[in-house]
Amino acid sequence: MKNWYAVQVGDNFDCGDGSYDYDEAVAMAESESAWHPGEEIRIAVCSDGSDYVEREIIIQEGTR
């Protein structure tokens, strides 16, 4: 089973944007941090085929 790495910004907890490739998701999150400097940027690790978040990886601390 592959993990889905959803990139989330601030109070947006949608799991639609991201990648199955962790490094690509990190690059996406770092790109978002340039556009949202004061907001939390995180990667939600989801099980394949579900929106169930197993854990979160905080890329940039900030407001939710």
For the chain, percent of residues with pLDDT exceeding 70 = 97
**Residue 49: what pLDDT?**
67
**Residue 21: what pLDDT?**
96
For the chain, percent of residues with pLDDT exceeding 90 = 72
The mean per-residue pLDDT over the stretch 37-62 comes to 90
| Helix ranges (DSSP H) in 1-64 | 22-35
Tokens of 46: 């989801």
Neighbours of 40 (CB within 10 A): 19
Is the pLDDT score of 40 beyond 90?
yes
Three-state SS at 41 = strand
Q: What is the C-alpha to C-alpha distance for residues 37 and 56, in angstroms, rounded to an integer?
A: 19
Amino acid (one-letter) located at 49? G
The mean per-residue pLDDT over the stretch 27-46 comes to 94
